[in-house]
Structure 1
Amino acid sequence: MVTVLQERSGQRVLDRGPVRKIRVAGRTLTLTPVFDTYWRFAAARQKVYEARLAGGAGPFTDDPILQRYRFTNCFRAADRVSQDLIGGVIYRGEQAWEEVFFRTLLFKIFNKTSTWRLLNGALGEVRWDAYDYRAFDRVLSQAFTAGQRLYSAAYIVPPPQLGEQRKHQNHLRLLEMMMKADAPQRVLSAPTLQDAYQVLLGFPAIGPFLAYQFVIDLNYAAEMPFSEMDFVVAGPGARDGIRKCFGPAADGIEADVIRYMADTQDEHFARLGLAFAGLRGRPLQLIDCQNLFCEVDKYARVAHPDIAGISGRSRIKQTYRRQAVVMPAWFPPKWQLNGPPEQ
């Protein structure tokens, strides 16, 4: 096969045949077999998503790893919790930006739809202009005492030390602090997505990964003007996946690697003969490519057990369980993906 390096948009890629090396951020990266698995996984996982939306009986794939284990969707906004956030929190209720900000971060701190429903059921419409710490704490403390899980295990939101005893109490105080420090307006008036991220990063217990996840969530709202192609932060899982694709030579340039994946997705899907139409025509964004590295890290634990990441994890914890509830597929209207409303 011909393996001639050509210049393309400041990055060098192989013209035809199996890709062996790429050049990103001034470094030459030698690719492992996991690199092509990244694209094959994305195409296969998106087909599963599309088949489920179409209402098929399943199984939706003949890939034994996808059949057995649970993986998130290729597009972050298509995941169930993101769908609950977009359709049930951000675009439902008072649309004043301060209220949207408050609802979004309250939901995401717990990242669990049942906790959001608990608060709404007990307190009525959740609003900042009617917020009462004691009322919120009473509902959450009663549920906690009864053994109800308040937080998702998807990612850990460390509790800030703000003088309260329980985790959820300190998180309520953190949200109060953000609202009183004018975080909603500071985020909205930020000139770039990265500047908005920096606002969130300045609050206790919100590290780089959480600040990035939160700003992406806020950016689903109508008022936020930024593109998901503006800025990316690689989380721990993504760094593991990047290590498996490129080895240690990619350490420290993870954001550049993620941008490379987003910028070159069409040519790699075509090179491998993979059909990938995106999310109703929307290509993978930086946040989606970041998330895919997390999922490919997990997939490679079974598919490529000989290729090591950073964490050393060797098993996939969550197995796939089909849910009977119909999965929604409604996206921020500003993306223009939803089509005309049903009559």
Structure 2
Amino acid sequence: MITVVKKFPVATYVLDTYWKFAAERQEIFFNRIAGKTVLTNDPILLKYKFTNAYRAADRVSQYLISRVIYHGDQSPDEVLFRILLFKLFNKIETWEILSHELGLLTWENYSFKSYNQVLHQVLQAGETVYSGAYMMASGKSSFGNDRKHENHLKLVEQMMHGHLAERVQEATSLEAVYRLLLSFPLLGPFLAYQYAIDINYSNLTNFSEMDFVMPGPGAKDGIRKCFKSLGGYTEADVIKYVTERQEQEFERLGISFKSLWGRRLQLIDCQNLFCETDKYARVAHPEVGGLSGRTRIKQLYLGNYYGISYFFPPKWGLNDKLGRSTGQSA
């Protein structure tokens, strides 16, 4: 029997950029909270739009946590229904239009006809009901409707009728929740993982974000830019590797990283940071190619930030710290 000895991943200079980006993006986060007019001097971060270092601190995630998950009936079916409905579109405006037209959005009073009518009217007005963050299959081959949103509403119905809330609560790990979601049509590995993280913000589950990670296409691109060899490891292994080494890496680079009030970067955060580093490197390191071959960053920073009253899952124990600190060193 031949034993294969894995070597440690071999980093490129872009890995230093990964950590510097994480620290500067987090600095912007705290500068905004402090009301500073100068958020950063980084020309790339000033010109282009990037997500936060911590996924849960992003505007859409914050809305999901504070206005969707923890706002309303906390019974398992109702919490799951709200999460699924919001995440299928992943757009705050769509949720607010549905709420305005239909009142409280509940599984108990759900009507395909009513929801479909509102969304159809939005589309007729020339608006979009989806965010550009995720791409999802139309679902026609699975549910038979011509319009994408109709098939996605049918997907929600299938999940709810399949007693998914009960099955999620019985799950023994974050990966088990991911596997449950992956068993439904239209949800590939990346979206199933993202939805599992969103569900884990709620009280339906209480797993560590350090338990499991599933790299998305953007993260895989970023990993290939940060490492010239993975040493026989998978992309998921590499994400775990850098997440575990975060304090040593910040110390190596002389960076005083401001954590999320003592919460370390988790696997989901480091996964996202690889995706953002992929984008950042298109401008900062155009000589370094990734898997996709993309060379431009599409989304510009528009400076349309408005204040967010930050609220994190209460089980994290962060909310009582929000008004007392502007960050701590990791």
TM-score by length of 2: 0.93
Cα pair distance change 1:264/1:117, threshold 3 Å: same
Report the Cα distance in structure 2 between the residues aligned to 1:288 and 1:211, rounded to whole angstroms.
Answer: 16
Determine helix, strand or coil for the equivalent of 1:231: coil
The Cα of 1:267 is off from its aligned counterpart by 0.6
Q: Which amino acid aligns with 1:130?
A: N
Task: For residue 217 of structure 1, report the CA deviation from its aligned partner.
Answer: 0.4
1:209 to 178, 181, 190: 190
In the comparison of the two structures, how many residue pairs are matched?
A: 317
Q: Which residue of 2 aligns with 1:326?
A: 307
Structure 1 SS opposite 2:259: coil
Write out per-residue CA displacement over residues 182-212 of structure 1, whole angstroms, 9 at most, x where no aligned residue: 1111112111110111000000010000000
Aligned equivalent of 2:165: 184
Is the contact between residue 243 and residue 251 of structure 1 (CA under 8 Å) also seen in structure 2? no
Which structure is higher in RCO with an 8 Å CA cutoff and minimum separation 6?
A: 2
3-state SS of paired residue (1:247): strand
Give 1:63 deviation, angstroms: 1.0
In the TM superposition, 1:1-343 aligns within 5 A as 26-58=6-38, 60-161=39-140, 162-249=143-230, 253-339=234-320
- Encode CA deviations 1:146-176: one digit per residue, 9 max, x unaligned: 1111000011122223021100000000000
The amino acid that maps onto 2:111 is D
Q: Which residue of 1 aligns with 2:328?
A: none
Q: Note if contact 1:277-1:283 (Cα within 8 Å) is conserved in structure 2.
A: no
TM-aligned CA deviation for residue 249 of structure 1: 3.4
Partner of 2:326: none
Structure 1 residues 218-227 or 250-259, which shifts more? 250-259
Which whole-Å CA distance do the structure 1 matches of 2:219 and 2:87 have between them?
A: 20
Residues of 2 paired with 1:271 and 1:339: CA distance?
Answer: 32
Measured in 1, the distance between the counterparts of 2:322 and 2:289 equals 48
What is the CA distance between 1:261 and its match in structure 2?
1.1
Q: 1:98 to 1:289 in 2, by over 3 A?
A: same
> Structure 1 residue 247: deviation in Å?
2.3
Residues 340 and 301 of structure 1: CA distance in aligned 2, closer, same or farther (over 3 Å): closer
SS of 1:28 mapped into structure 2: coil
| Structure-1 separation of matches of 2:44 and 2:322 | 37
Deviates more, 1:152-161 or 1:238-247: 152-161
Q: Percent identity?
A: 52
Structure 2 counterpart of 1:16: none
Query: How far did 1:340 drift?
Result: 6.9
Structure 2 distance, partners of 1:323, 1:312, is: 30
Flag structure 2 segments of 5+ consecutive residues without an equivalent: 324-330
Q: How many Å apart are 1:252 and its aligned residue?
A: 6.0
